[in-house]
Chain A
Amino acid sequence: DVKVTQSSRYLVKRTGEKVFLECVQDMDHENMFWYRQDPGLGLRLIYFSYDVKMKEKGDIPEGYSVSREKKERFSLILESASTNQTSMYLCASSLVGRWTEAFFGQGTRLTVV
């Protein structure tokens, strides 16, 4: 069974704080993704990585950065948290390939106050 684990289920942070969200997968997947889920907007891609130290911007990268120093770990960084970054954050991983599903972590509910 693929396991994607996010370090926190719930986080509350203050405006202006630097926030780290961690994600680890145990299936040796090349691809890793960070999405955020907001009501009525579905899942929107923030960043993804297709290899160690490689990253590409998704649809909404502003205010975020990422780090992938090891294949199994993908971190999302909010440089200076703002209230409009209050959301559910979802990490996912997948194999390289055209027709392959992504496996998701349990999500981190981040509240910025």
Chain B
Amino acid sequence: DQQVKQNSPSLSVQEGRISILNCDYTNSMFDYFLWYKKYPAEGPTFLISISSIKDKNEDGRFTVFLNKSAKHLSLHIVPSQPGDSAVYFCAALGETSGSRLTFGEGTQLTVNP
């Protein structure tokens, strides 16, 4: 049972445009959400997070939006840069999962120069 889903395996955008990566979850006990970025042959690195008491969190070019009623979150990257090309994972934490992160399948973002 996939509790965190990223339905788009890949996304391709032009440099300078907006990248929007989406994530859906089914477990209503999740209350903290994170995005990780992963380059090939490297471990994931933490990018940005949001708690369920907020609906938006911004850090430079990266903004995460949370829609609790729809159980949906999205990561916006503006403007996109070629160095943003990587796999992006959505992850969630909740009261019942403790410190165990539940990850989505990942979305491969390619930013074309």
* Interface residues, chain A, with chain B CB atoms under 8 Å away: 4, 9, 31, 33, 35, 40-45, 48, 50, 58, 90, 92, 94, 96-107, 109
Contacts and interface: CB of A to CB of B under 8 A. Distances in A.
A17 B90 CA distance: 34
7 contacts: A33-B100, A42-B89, A42-B104, A43-B101, A44-B103, A48-B99, A92-B43
Interface of B: 4, 6, 9, 31-32, 34, 36, 41-46, 49, 51, 89, 91, 93, 95, 98-106
Determine which residue in A40, A101, A107, A109 has the highest number of CB atoms from chain B within 10 A of its CB, and name it: A101
A101 B93 CA distance: 9
Contact of B42 (A33, A44, A103, A106): A106
Contacts of A96: 99
Given A99-B49, A99-B51, A43 B44 contact: yes
A76 to B, nearest CB: 14
B106 A99 contact: no
Given A31-B99, A99-B32, A100-B99, A40 B9 contact: yes
Contact of A42 (B45, B46, B100, B103): B103
Contacts of B42: 106-107
A48 B99 CA distance: 10
B111 to A, nearest CB: 21
Nearest to A43: B103
Given A94-B99, A99-B32, A101-B34, A40 B105 contact: yes
A92 to B, nearest CB: 8
A106 B6 CA distance: 23
Contact of B43 (A40, A99, A106): A106
A21 B93 CA distance: 26
A42 B92 CA distance: 13
A101 B43 contact: no
